[in-house]
Structure 1
Amino acid sequence: MYAHGGHIPQPPHSAGATLKGLRTHIEPHQVPSPVDSIEADRAKWEDQTYMTLPGNHVPQSTTDYVAIDQGNSSPKFIRMSTWNIPSTSRLAEELDIPIVAVIQPFADLDPREEPVPVIECGEEGPPRCEKCRGYINAWCTWTAGGNRWKCNLCGHETEVSADYFSPLDANLLRVDQLQRPELTKGTIDFAVTKSSEYWAPPPPAHLTPSYVATEPPPTEQARKPQPMRHVFAFDVSNEAVHSGFLSAACTSLRIILYGGAAEDGTEIPPSFPPESSIAIITFDTTMHFYDLSPNQATPRMLVVSDIDEPYLPLPSAEIFTHPMASRTVIESFLESLPRRFADTFYSQSCLGSALRAGLSSLAKYGGHILAYVSTLPTLGPGALAPISPEEETKLFEKSHDKTLYAPRAVEWRNLAEECVEAGVGVSLVLAPGRFVDIGSIGALASASGGELFFHPRFDPVRDGPILESQVRRLVSRTTGYNCALRVRSSNGLRPTRPLGNFHLPAPNTPSFGTLDADKAFSIELEHTRSLSTHEYAFIQCAVLYTSAAGERRVRVLNLAVQVAELAGSVFRFADMDVVVSHMARHAMARMSQHTLSIIRDELTELCSAILYSYRRNCAASTAHTQLIIPEAFRALPMYTLAIHKSKPLKARNVAADVRNYNAHRFLGLSVRGMMFHLYPRLLALHDLDDKIALPDLDTGAIEMPSLMRGSYLFMEAGGLYLIDNEELQVLWIGQSVSPQLLQDVFGVDDVADLDTQTTVLPQLPSVLSRQIRNIIAYRRREKGGRATKLILARQNLDGAEIEFADMLVEDHNNAALSYLDYLSLVHKQITAAIQTGASLSPGTSIRAPW
């Protein structure tokens, strides 16, 4: 579309590690590319509908597809590392493919897909197996003329209640089968509000409770479901006020509660759940509570100075209010709050006390706490010793030390457990100017199922709109609280070793204070006996939760998977996206136990082991000098290298807070989010077709442009490129870019005239301007409305180019090898294993000097 210069070299500031020894010659244009696989899969499913019955190849997580539920849950809810499970444990060990399910119980569906059906259950609750307690589903069979049903998980026969009975037809199916979604759909919600058996239990009594109870504990055996309650806790210390963070937080909350106008004049509707109520706490060296009831002109403020034994100065019923009922009071309060603390001189905070007080207000029913934090909590429970700039520099330099990835004070872990027991999730919006110890305070969000948002050196202009979109998504997405989760499997398999952001009170039974649409976790499956290839293997995940509207429900996901006895069949139906996602989670979970170098070595060994197993079992006759990669794992070395280069694990110095924040994200990311974060999407904007990224005149649909490989090798000096890793977007402008291209996108004709501080592209009448803004808007809709920070990077002029260069993971950067060198390393390991007969399974091989 526009004239541009020739290819460009990789800038020297992004150099990585070098490969020792002989290097295998590999042609860069012929190596397996993640982009080729992503684009081929997208083209395949563009005009097809995915039917969920077993036996079909599943679309990649990076593809936008429409699934029709035929009794198996959509892959958007649950994905397997292989859709042909090995029939024996011996075969599974030989292949080195971890047998894993990645589960995202509340995943958002495509608007073209049917919503999850809700089945109303009476006081008895849904039909369940008498033996294993599995829920009735589409894979159960019927016996005794419809009087009994046989559980597909354990084989036990359970008698049908009189109310649920139906006669069978000639095919031994119930006459009312098609009228009962639980017998035809793989994903369903059982509404169990009327059955007190399913209500959340009260939190257990502790010998040393973390707060002073101002109300008698609940006497009932179970807590009646209530609409979700939210506590907003604002840091009002000197750092929060003077950085503009407090003002931005209040403004964003006001817009979320009551709506407002965007910068372009469009109306923003309110997005807070109408049934929910809120309470507001502020804290610095003391805690401040507010009576926001509507029958007063201004809110009453009550100060609690006892931060070691925090308590509520009012009954919780007076602290909570419905936003619409108290609109006048809350709006004026949020507007005046930054002015109220404008002259504060307190530089310390008692975050732990404020969170304990928030827990005290929610302990009776459960709910959610969102805390806005700017300073290291140095007062009250969980107080952390302040760190001098010199000590902070030393921490930065030794960020590979495993002790930095676990809480420094045990109170944070204990408080997290109490929150989960009470059905409370804690999310933190962090805007620190210095080290804030996410390894300690972040453990609270990680264990309770909450969220972390990280805005270091907060800038209201740059970060304010991002903050508003993040909190809007937080309160508006599908969220359950008081969550208990159980994964069951059919005879011969056993779920084990779950990984994610949750608390594990008992083996293999994760509990969440809150669980939302963006959270996923993985769980391994191990063999307890051989499986029959003539039958399916079954997995069922059940989440018992209370919805934001106050309904008690059970979300049930069912999956039937084929069983294979041939290695080739297992590899043919393998799902690389799930394997990579699990590898990354497993690596993050080990950061507090092993040094980062050991974790990186183990990742490489697992990658090599999988490729070596394919070579040994499916392509043994090929020459040992040839690198053989199975179709399903063509990009596995690239994604493994990308995990090495990720911020939690990379060998270069990275601040401990940055590592811990990103490790938290990795543990909860969806499979799709993980793949797009590890290998960021790169687009050549100067080469867009005139019709791409523009609404179709007939359908209104917008087709996205094809991706390109993430390397300077494929870029041009006259180009304009956009890269997006789900957390950050960088718009790279080449030095030889044409003036017309700049005029069409930015309204200037010289690179030197660009405003690199801009956070939003100008709305210009050019076609290219519309296309780029449509692409950014489309990406935002993909993320459920969450905006992504946008920065500009001019070639060889701006420091932001370092971020851009580090996101080109195929290159020689991030203190790690280039993709070509990493392929050579993997090839060396496999060749050595072939020649020596050694094992490549992680932890069993002797690490080579390379």
Structure 2
Amino acid sequence: MNPPSTPLSPIPQPPHSLRAAIDPQSIPSPIDTIEGDREQWEDQTYGTLPGGHVPLSTTDYVAIDQGNSSPKFLRISTWNIPSTSRLASDCRIPIAAVVQPFADQDPREEEIPVVDTGDIGPARCASCRGYINPWCKWVDGGMKWTCNMCTHETAVAPEYFCNLDANLTRLDHLQRPELNKGTVDFVVPEEYWAPHSPLRMEPLFQSVMPLPTSGRRQPQPMNYIFAFDVSLEAVQSGFTHSACSSLLDLLYSQSESGTEGHQGDSCLPAESKICIVTFDRTLHFYDLSVRLNLHLAPPIATLMAYLDDVFVPLRDGLFVDPQGSQPAITALLSTLGKPTTRMIDTEAALGTAIVACLASLAGTGGQVVVFTGVLPTIGLGALKTQVDESTLFGTDKENTLFAPRDNTWKDIAQQCAEEGIGVSMFLGMNRPIDVASVGIISSLTGGELYFHPRFDPPRDGIVLQSQLRRLLKRTTGYSCIMRVRCSSGLRVANHYGNFYESPTGDLLFGTLDADKAISVHLEHTKTLDDSMFAFVQSAVLYTTSHGQRRVRVCNLGLQVASLAGNVFRYADMDTVVCHMVREGISKLPTQRIAKIHEQLTDTCTAILLGYRKHCAASAAPSQLIIPEAFRALPVYTLAIMKTKPLKGRNVTADVRNYQAHKIMSMSVRCTMQHLYPQLLALHDLSDHVALPDPTTGQLRWPSTMRTSYIFMESYGLYLTDNEEMTVLWIGSDISPQLLKDLFDVDDILQLDPHITQFPHLPTRLSTQIRNILAHRHEQRGWTPKFMIARRNMDAAELEFSDMLVEDQNNAAMSYLDCAYTSTSFSQWFGY
């Protein structure tokens, strides 16, 4: 679309007295790097052998596994590890790795190979217990192999033996994926099955049937429990009804009117069973077996009113095949959530309900999905309404807002993690719900939190169903145990993410899915040989949703550098930024936000000054010297400080804790796009963008722009996305033709700001924008909340403005002013 013939000035901004001193275009920005990297890898594949530069996490690329795991599974802060702790200290780049073992792959990539070695299990080092991988060496004619991490020689099992060729390579090398692929799945024998949890001194529940406390449990398909809050407030808001309708549709592809859609299109594995529980002041269990389903009447509830003495009142019919019990499940979900005159309970015993789910899945493991809408003021973990939290920010008691107010919630979470149970929660409340307390259950079990304050069914119902679909359909393992190992000379110092760390140092996840990542901080224990490689190996022991016990192993061989220039040359800013934001958020329960800001600034300053001191010492003091890999580090550091968990101005504790939970488990890609949201100028799309190429059929996506009002026009149409919500900003001087092509209205005042999706119109612009949104949906796997922000008219403009991280917002300076006024930034830029 061409702009109007009369030139229009950029959107006016608050006065910045120092802005004239610096040209905004001269300050380093991530956009040039992101777009350049995307163009580089658009038409070529990435081979994972060490020695080259790795694509950015924000780039869509096809990786070929050549013995190293794809960066989608394992990224590290520098692909040339410093040889000594002294060199690492001089460079000041944190040695960190981010592991996302079940990350989604590009459809063009080869699937992860599955290796079954039978009863002998995967070959492992007798010393460090590392798994065999492409970097191991064979000795003694193939009778032994040398571990690449600890150099110990381990004998080969007779069933696994194979002769070597002249190059000391096994003759079956190409037929053994574990010897030539960086990422593999090993099918494991009985000794790897999940152990039964030991009997606790003070168990949270009573079991009707005695549970075994020794031995191991046989893997089985993952079972699901769906727990619905049926208290008065949750039902009246429409939250419970939307949740039930979404689940019903996903189970049977069935509309709310009862019309059947695509049969067999369930989101659950065919062998899985489900259970439905409801709760208010009491708990309600349902026998969903076919034998009791007469005349399509809803199943009769079995009540448990003793909230402090939890047990499961029935076993038969509690877990059922959703296809075999479709009539009973349909009748129940169609009834739940509908207001009745008998509804008087305003309280909901969330803690007791989760413990009841724990009791139901004890001994087997599985996944619990909870829908709740009120603060749990009754039952286990009962909470009182929080005092005015705004008085605590900036004080010594600020950190109390980021920790559970009742340790019962932490105890429940730990027991769930030990039992291999992941708990995900949809929060649809109208009042504060204390996410710091209830959310720790999802954080420690590897579950997910979904936040829908002031739930509005027309606005949020589509998002809830999309989130639930992603939750059920993505790759998910349960009863997971994870350990990250590294080669001799390095050690794992800290872990960051959503998990429960056992006393033995293993990371326990009730469930671990495709969207979850953890980060580890590595330290030197001795000098590394720069003529050798350094290694990192991640191993996740898990049960698939179809009931097979496996180990997902990710391997990485890294070059060792003795020069600071090589460390910086192959540094990975995406991983560094991901590590910085996680480390900062992890300190919220112990440190004040202002102190965390100082530490983030110091970290960024130290990295850039380390480069100037050790790689560009001869440059003039006034010369702009920034390492190529970290050109955008200052703006990302500023963006970290502007995130909702760490921003300076008052944000409710629930929002801070929810956002902290999300960021701590985000992939590197999602983290980068959350910190610096993508901003697209939709009014300036060329004719060939986001439309199929007539010859190849491929779609070319538009370039992004810098996130600042300085670069926007008042006649423009802009779309931004921070992985949480999508906002369309409409300028007050927008062309009527643009509105007509996109919304079929002529005047901006005629536009309904509450629409939740673009109308399907036969115009080129409408097709382009819907293609762009469909592409983002495919990348993410779900649809975020959509909002329209007309300039100076809609409240959504506040959310849009907060996403423009280069501007003055979120109680922090703009990137431009910060670069000039801050002592640290002045040092970075040479002013």
Per the normalisation by structure 1, the TM-score is 0.94
| 2:490 aligned partner | 493
Is the contact between residue 204 and residue 421 of structure 1 (CA under 8 Å) also seen in structure 2?
no
| Residue identity matched to 1:314 | L
| 1:357 aligned partner | 356
Further displaced range: 620-629 or 369-378: 620-629
Are residues 1:444 and 2:430 paired?
A: no
Are residues 1:311 and 2:311 paired?
A: yes
| 1:643 aligned partner | 640
**1:580, distance to aligned residue in structure 2 (A):** 0.3
| Residue identity matched to 1:282 | T
| Residue identity matched to 1:311 | F
**1:601, distance to aligned residue in structure 2 (A):** 1.1
Are residues 1:462 and 2:462 paired?
A: no
Are residues 1:428 and 2:428 paired?
A: no
Counterparts in 2 of 1:655 and 1:372: CA distance versus 1, 3 Å: same
**1:163, distance to aligned residue in structure 2 (A):** 0.9
| 1:812 aligned partner | 808
| 2:198 aligned partner | 204
Counterparts in 2 of 1:594 and 1:587: CA distance versus 1, 3 Å: same
Q: State which of 29, 35, 39 in structure 2 corresponds to 1:39.
A: 35
Are residues 1:249 and 2:243 paired?
A: yes
Is the contact between residue 495 and residue 508 of structure 1 (CA under 8 Å) also seen in structure 2?
no
| Residue identity matched to 1:580 | V
Are residues 1:336 and 2:335 paired?
A: yes
**1:700, distance to aligned residue in structure 2 (A):** 2.9
| Residue identity matched to 1:6 | L
| 1:581 aligned partner | 578
C-alpha separation in 2, matches of 1:229 and 1:284: 23
Is the contact between residue 233 and residue 280 of structure 1 (CA under 8 Å) also seen in structure 2?
yes
- C-alpha distance after superposition, 1:432-462 (max 9, x if no partner): 1010000100011101100000000000001
Further displaced range: 341-350 or 661-670: 341-350
For the residue of structure 2 that corresponds to 1:610, the secondary structure is helix
| Residue identity matched to 2:231 | S
Are residues 1:225 and 2:227 paired?
A: no
Are residues 1:404 and 2:406 paired?
A: no
C-alpha separation in 2, matches of 1:691 and 1:399: 56
Counterparts in 2 of 1:392 and 1:539: CA distance versus 1, 3 Å: closer
| 2:507 aligned partner | 510
- C-alpha distance after superposition, 1:516-570 (max 9, x if no partner): 0000010011111100111110111100000100100000000000000000000
Segments of 5+ residues of structure 2 without an aligned counterpart are: none
C-alpha separation in 1, matches of 2:214 and 2:119: 17
Is the contact between residue 625 and residue 830 of structure 2 (CA under 8 Å) also seen in structure 1?
no
- C-alpha distance after superposition, 1:273-319 (max 9, x if no partner): 2221111110011100001111122423100000011110012x531
| Residue identity matched to 1:472 | R
**1:713, distance to aligned residue in structure 2 (A):** 0.5
C-alpha separation in 1, matches of 2:12 and 2:434: 35
**1:507, distance to aligned residue in structure 2 (A):** 6.1
C-alpha separation in 2, matches of 1:266 and 1:211: 40
C-alpha separation in 1, matches of 2:529 and 2:784: 48
| Residue identity matched to 1:365 | T
| 1:844 aligned partner | none
C-alpha separation in 2, matches of 1:282 and 1:767: 48
Counterparts in 2 of 1:342 and 1:189: CA distance versus 1, 3 Å: farther
For the residue of structure 1 that corresponds to 2:336, the secondary structure is helix
| 2:780 aligned partner | 783
**1:496, distance to aligned residue in structure 2 (A):** 1.8
For the residue of structure 1 that corresponds to 2:331, the secondary structure is helix
1:730-741 alignment runs, 5 A limit: 730-741=727-738
Is the contact between residue 685 and residue 722 of structure 1 (CA under 8 Å) also seen in structure 2?
yes
Aligned residues: 823
Instruction: Say which structure, 1 or 2, has more relative contact order (CA 8 Å, 6+ apart).
Output: 1
Q: State which of 757, 762, 765 in structure 2 corresponds to 1:765.
A: 762
- C-alpha distance after superposition, 1:188-228 (max 9, x if no partner): 00011xx2110001112111101111111125511110110
**1:635, distance to aligned residue in structure 2 (A):** 0.2
C-alpha separation in 2, matches of 1:747 and 1:705: 23
| Residue identity matched to 1:686 | H
For the residue of structure 2 that corresponds to 1:260, the secondary structure is coil
| 2:210 aligned partner | 216
Is the contact between residue 624 and residue 830 of structure 2 (CA under 8 Å) also seen in structure 1?
no
| 1:163 aligned partner | 159
**1:124, distance to aligned residue in structure 2 (A):** 1.8
Is the contact between residue 139 and residue 145 of structure 2 (CA under 8 Å) also seen in structure 1?
yes
Is the contact between residue 228 and residue 550 of structure 1 (CA under 8 Å) also seen in structure 2?
yes
Further displaced range: 623-632 or 468-477: 623-632
For the residue of structure 2 that corresponds to 1:462, the secondary structure is helix
| Residue identity matched to 1:457 | R
C-alpha separation in 2, matches of 1:440 and 1:387: 11
C-alpha separation in 1, matches of 2:148 and 2:432: 52
| 1:655 aligned partner | 652
**1:830, distance to aligned residue in structure 2 (A):** 6.6
C-alpha separation in 2, matches of 1:396 and 1:289: 42
**1:817, distance to aligned residue in structure 2 (A):** 1.0
For the residue of structure 1 that corresponds to 2:629, the secondary structure is helix
Is the contact between residue 396 and residue 655 of structure 1 (CA under 8 Å) also seen in structure 2?
no
Counterparts in 2 of 1:253 and 1:619: CA distance versus 1, 3 Å: same
**1:322, distance to aligned residue in structure 2 (A):** 1.0
C-alpha separation in 1, matches of 2:826 and 2:115: 52
| 2:540 aligned partner | 543
| Residue identity matched to 2:94 | P
C-alpha separation in 2, matches of 1:822 and 1:550: 54
| 1:554 aligned partner | 551
- C-alpha distance after superposition, 1:729-781 (max 9, x if no partner): 11000011010000000000100000001011100010000000110111000
**In angstroms, what is the RMSD of aligned CA positions?**
2.1
Q: State which of 520, 523, 527 in structure 1 corresponds to 2:524.
A: 527
C-alpha separation in 2, matches of 1:345 and 1:7: 58
Is the contact between residue 395 and residue 655 of structure 1 (CA under 8 Å) also seen in structure 2?
no
- C-alpha distance after superposition, 1:120-174 (max 9, x if no partner): 1312211111111111111111111111111111111111111111111111101
Are residues 1:803 and 2:799 paired?
A: yes
C-alpha separation in 2, matches of 1:368 and 1:10: 51
Q: State which of 258, 275, 291 in structure 1 corresponds to 2:271.
A: 275
Counterparts in 2 of 1:580 and 1:23: CA distance versus 1, 3 Å: same
**1:789, distance to aligned residue in structure 2 (A):** 0.8
Counterparts in 2 of 1:318 and 1:96: CA distance versus 1, 3 Å: same
| 1:235 aligned partner | 229
**1:822, distance to aligned residue in structure 2 (A):** 2.2
**1:627, distance to aligned residue in structure 2 (A):** 3.4
Counterparts in 2 of 1:60 and 1:206: CA distance versus 1, 3 Å: same
Further displaced range: 563-572 or 646-655: 646-655
Counterparts in 2 of 1:141 and 1:262: CA distance versus 1, 3 Å: farther
Is the contact between residue 7 and residue 714 of structure 1 (CA under 8 Å) also seen in structure 2?
no
Per the normalisation by structure 2, the TM-score is 0.96
Segments of 5+ residues of structure 1 without an aligned counterpart are: 836-850
For the residue of structure 2 that corresponds to 1:379, the secondary structure is coil
C-alpha separation in 1, matches of 2:205 and 2:565: 58
**1:91, distance to aligned residue in structure 2 (A):** 0.5
Are residues 1:258 and 2:257 paired?
A: no
**1:341, distance to aligned residue in structure 2 (A):** 5.2
| 2:715 aligned partner | 718
C-alpha separation in 1, matches of 2:827 and 2:756: 49
C-alpha separation in 2, matches of 1:159 and 1:220: 31
| 2:320 aligned partner | 321
For the residue of structure 2 that corresponds to 1:319, the secondary structure is coil
| 1:127 aligned partner | 123
- C-alpha distance after superposition, 1:552-602 (max 9, x if no partner): 000000000000000000000000000000000001100110011111111
For the residue of structure 2 that corresponds to 1:292, the secondary structure is coil
1:61-76 alignment runs, 5 A limit: 61-76=57-72
- C-alpha distance after superposition, 1:401-447 (max 9, x if no partner): 11100000000011111011101111110011010000100011101
| 1:92 aligned partner | 88
